[in-house]
Amino acid sequence: MGKEIVKTECLGCAETFDGIVMDCEKCGGVPVLRLSDMEWDISSNRPNIWRYASMLPKFKRYVTLGEGLTPIRKYRKYKLKLELRNPTGSYADRASAVLSSYFLSKDPNAPVRIKYASDFTYSLVSYLIGVPEVEVVLDDPFSVEVEEILSLIELGATVNFSDASAQLSYMNPLTIEGLKTTVFELFERGIKRGKIFVPAETGILAISIWKGIEDLRAIGEDAGFEVVAVHLEGMKVPSSLDRVSGIDIFEVSRDKALKKLIELAKAGIKTKLLSAASLEAMEEDGEEGSIAIITASDSRRRTLPVGKNSRLSKEILRLLSEGGGGTAYEIWERMGKYTLRGVYKSLASMESAGLVASSFSVEGRRKKKVYFLPNEDMKKGSSNS
């Protein structure tokens, strides 16, 4: 593969920009990335969305908490893709892996301001544990539950109430890049055609799956899927879908969606009303072999190992940035607080998430494990070695 060329194209006005542009200043439409040198080359040793790195933008650092590879469950003559089996219990984790990789590669010390969106914000803050300053902005404090705010604060984010601009919104091209991996998993499993019923609150998941299908076709793969965006009766069809050809719309009544919600709960699948509506739409349509995406559940919020003590994790990252690498014991000594066991556990979780790296060095006859920031020269090394 040659050097990757990345352009951003607005689906609203067709304006094209060089590089990664998070929003279209011209019309405010939905931006998507156009990547050169894509190929269907699965990295089967990666148990996360980065197994499809050949179809995704390239970064210096890659963050993962084990998102993706969610189960596909047979349900009568249909299939369910259970996205609530992601690390935080939401499909948004796919987007968070790409966004956090972007921010940590671009400038790991730069603050990130996120415009609040349910599920997405909790997920992204969980993944941004390596960023020293994360701010969540709520336009309407009455639109979020107190428990949600407390969860964000526990993860180390600051929460402010304002309508200021310059915030990262849910609707951005890197979100789409992460979410499109949903269809890649179907394709890898040998499911290459059929209708995919997608809950459409904002429309971005439907657009993302459509984008994944388009990318597969662009490199010559036979992806014979159709995307059906499902919305509840009384809700407006998301305006983001207006300029996208190739996505059908299906409306479901609330009472039928509620019956499906109860039916799924009895089957051990606790999800949201709109996700249940996707199953109802699929059954009303009746085409055998169709797939419904079950996205998330209000009651299925998971606490990640790396997020259980985010202050400790952030402190470790600050020390590694300012003073160079070191063993777990040396890092603990430099901190002057917390327990050695806590430092060991935090480093293990952070390493599995790609936030720190490690290597063994030899001092005399003793081998020791040194932790450092990814892509930094290990010779910066331990202050005591």
User: Average pLDDT per run of 10 along the chain, which is 385 residues long?
Assistant: 83 94 91 96 94 97 92 94 92 97 92 91 90 88 81 88 76 98 98 97 97 98 98 94 92 98 93 96 96 78 57 81 83 85 85 81 78 60 38
pLDDT at 144: 81
pLDDT at 378: 36
Sheet holding 134-138, edge to edge: 112-115, 134-138, 158-161
Q: 177: closest CA among 41, 358, 306, 33?
A: 33
Is 167 domain-assigned?
A: no
Q: 224 and 196 share a domain? A: yes
Q: Which residues are bridge partners to 79 per DSSP? A: 74, 291
Domain extent at residue 272: 41-89+172-294
Q: 183 and 239 share a domain? A: yes
Is 157 domain-assigned?
A: yes
pTM of the model: 0.82
Is 25 domain-assigned?
A: no
Question: What's the CA gap between 331 and 337, in Å, rounded?
Answer: 10
Q: 85 and 101 share a domain? A: no
Q: 219 and 78 share a domain? A: yes
Question: What's the CA gap between 40 and 222, in Å, rounded?
Answer: 12
Q: 78 and 101 share a domain? A: no
Crossing angle of helices 181-188 and 204-218, in 10° steps, is 50
In Å, how far from its chain's centre is CA 202?
16
Q: 179 and 151 share a domain? A: no
pLDDT at 154: 84
pLDDT at 121: 93
pLDDT at 39: 97
Q: 320 and 338 share a domain? A: yes
Among 265, 294, 323, residue at a domain's last position = 294
Q: 136 and 247 share a domain? A: no
Q: 218 and 354 share a domain? A: no
Q: 207 and 270 share a domain? A: yes
pLDDT at 304: 59
Question: What's the CA gap between 225 and 293, in Å, rounded?
Answer: 14
Q: 208 and 247 share a domain? A: yes
Among 138, 161, 184, residue at a domain's last position = 161
Q: 100 and 127 share a domain? A: yes
